[in-house]
A and B are shown apart, each in its own frame.
Chain A
Amino acid sequence: MSTANPDHGDLSFAVPPVPLRPVSAPAPAPGGNPRADSLNLAGRPFGNSRPVVRISLLLWLLGLALLLSNVFVFRSYLSDSADKRAKIAHGEEEFLRQQKDVQDLQNRLNGYDLVRLNDQIDFLNTQIDARTFSWSLLIDRLADTLPHDVRIGHLTPLTGGRAKRETQRDRRQQGEVELQISGQTRRDEELSRFVDNLFAHPSFRDPNLLQESQVDTGGPLVKFEATVTYLPGGTPHRAEVEDLPAGDSPTVKKKTATTARTTTRTTLTATPAPGGRP
């Protein structure tokens, strides 16, 4: 059994059967010494330093963690910022080089007379349109719309230089051709039927009767002029053309089926001028 060592003022290792330090001092006897409570005669009085040690340890640990973190962060900052600055410098060089390339290309492009080239291409495209325009197909389709008593005398598609310049490109892009038609008929109602037929035909659009006039040539004759928008393309009809008898050969009429040819065409593409066309 051990007891408190009065020489050292420390606790011995053994646990006393009764607490050495009473939890609460016995109530002073009435009329006792009031300073007896604070009186401690130990040479090295007991103090619990464990919280201090624990807090200190914690601070050391946190400080160490912060130190490690600082070292890591600073090292990565040094390397990252160096990399990034190098990257930015390289990017600037690249940017300047590319800016110079763009400027060179722009100068090259400015060297071309794009407006003139575009005008030339527009003109050539209208010529190609005129060349590839299928008259056979147009005549076939127009024949579909013609009533028995209407004759067409004059037919002019407004292709090439005849079409209005400003409408050429739009119309060509839509594949439309303006047609001018003049003809004659003996019956007024047949003319109306012709116009109705043009309205009904899928290859024609917006027929417009410009004028009609009665002509007295021994009988009633109505001469007329009209315009209509023609939509070329689609499957051509098979037009039956009778071959003419050649020379003195017997007049055997050979039926030859000809189809309006499918034209091979080159359409030049106009290059847009920078900043739009004037």
Chain B
Amino acid sequence: MRSRSGIWRQRLWIWVPALIFFLANAVAFSVYKLGYAGQVAKLDDDIHAQEARHLELNGQYQQLKTMIARVKTNQEQVQQLYADRFSTRSRRLTSVTQEVKELARQAGLTPRALSYPEKQIQEYGLIKRSFIFSVQGPYPALRKLINLLEISHSFISIEELSVTSNSEGPELRIDLTLSTLFAMTADDGEAALPGTPAARPSTRRPTAAGGAS
């Protein structure tokens, strides 16, 4: 009978190649795990980091795009307001003056004297023209004039209203300050604002910023 260790020594050709084969593969596996698997994980991390940067940049891109779209929309609306609502002094001056007088007449009030101070708002390419006048009449006439001015299609604002009662009768003295805006053109002194289509023909009926239809 052989001893136990003796049999291992005698059968070396059986187990040594198997052990070498196993150890070689184990070493290869360890080398992959310790060396190459880390590289793959790092590549994964790089991809994730790249995706995060990509997302951030994409958000920035969208934000800028939205902002530019808003700027464009605002510019278009401003241009539309200047062209359709304010128009130029030469186009609207007489018509708006006539309209103020006509509305006062419709309300039963007759302005005896009107003054038209004007102020240029160079910064925004506008001219502000005021209509200052006093009328005498009863309270309902005043309400009617206010109502007519409010429903007018023109861009006429009531700036100030002063009512003085007459102790002798029901009539009131009404001091009104109205104002309107004109878009400036090169003829009005300074050059019109760049991008302000002051001279652009208005092709559509104004619907916004002012009159109710």
- Chain A residues with CB under 8 Å of chain B are 21, 40, 45-49, 51-53, 55-60, 62-64, 66-67, 69-70, 73-74, 77, 80-81, 84-85, 87-88, 91-92, 94-95, 98-99, 101-102, 105-106, 108-109, 112, 114, 117, 119-121, 123-124, 127-128, 130-136, 139, 151-156, 159-160, 239, 241-244, 258, 260-266, 268-272, 274
Residue pair A271, B74 in contact (C-beta under 8 Å): yes
Q: What chain A residues lie within 8 Å of B158 (beta carbons)?
A: 133, 135
Docked pose: A132 CA to B65 CA in angstroms: 32
Residue pair A239, B25 in contact (C-beta under 8 Å): no
Q: What chain A residues lie within 8 Å of B108 (beta carbons)?
A: 244
Provide the main secondary structure of the chain A interface.
Answer: helix
Docked pose: A130 CA to B75 CA in angstroms: 21
Q: What chain A residues lie within 8 Å of B50 (beta carbons)?
A: 88, 91-92, 95
Residue pair A81, B43 in contact (C-beta under 8 Å): yes
- Chain B residues with CB under 8 Å of chain A are 1-2, 6-8, 10-11, 14-15, 18-19, 21-22, 24-26, 28-29, 32, 36-37, 39-40, 43-44, 46-47, 50-51, 53-54, 57-58, 60-61, 64-65, 67-68, 70-71, 73-75, 77-78, 81, 107-108, 121, 123-124, 138, 140-141, 143-144, 146-147, 149-151, 155-165, 179, 181, 207-213
Residue pair B160, A131 in contact (C-beta under 8 Å): no
Residue pair A139, B143 in contact (C-beta under 8 Å): yes
Q: What are the 4 closest A-B residue pairs judged by CB atoms, nearest first? A: A66-B25, A47-B2, A59-B18, A63-B22
Given contacts A128-B210, A242-B140, contact A66 B53 (CB under 8 A): no
Given contacts A63-B24, A262-B212, contact A135 B161 (CB under 8 A): yes
Residue pair B14, A52 in contact (C-beta under 8 Å): yes
Given contacts A98-B58, A120-B124, contact A132 B210 (CB under 8 A): yes
Residue pair B57, A136 in contact (C-beta under 8 Å): no
Residue pair A59, B61 in contact (C-beta under 8 Å): no
Residue pair B32, A119 in contact (C-beta under 8 Å): no
**24 examples of A-B residue contacts, CB within 8 angstroms:** A46-B2, A52-B11, A52-B15, A58-B18, A66-B25, A66-B26, A70-B29, A77-B32, A77-B36, A77-B40, A109-B67, A117-B75, A120-B78, A120-B123, A131-B209, A135-B150, A154-B162, A155-B162, A241-B144, A260-B147, A260-B150, A265-B208, A266-B209, A271-B70
Given contacts A258-B147, A261-B151, contact A95 B57 (CB under 8 A): yes
Q: What chain B residues lie within 8 Å of A77 (beta carbons)?
A: 32, 36-37, 40
Docked pose: A153 CA to B150 CA in angstroms: 21
Q: What chain A residues lie within 8 Å of B1 (beta carbons)?
A: 21, 40, 45-47
15 new A-B contacts, CB < 8 A, other than A60-B21, A123-B124, are A45-B2, A49-B7, A49-B10, A59-B22, A70-B28, A81-B43, A102-B60, A120-B123, A131-B157, A131-B210, A135-B150, A135-B158, A154-B163, A261-B147, A264-B207
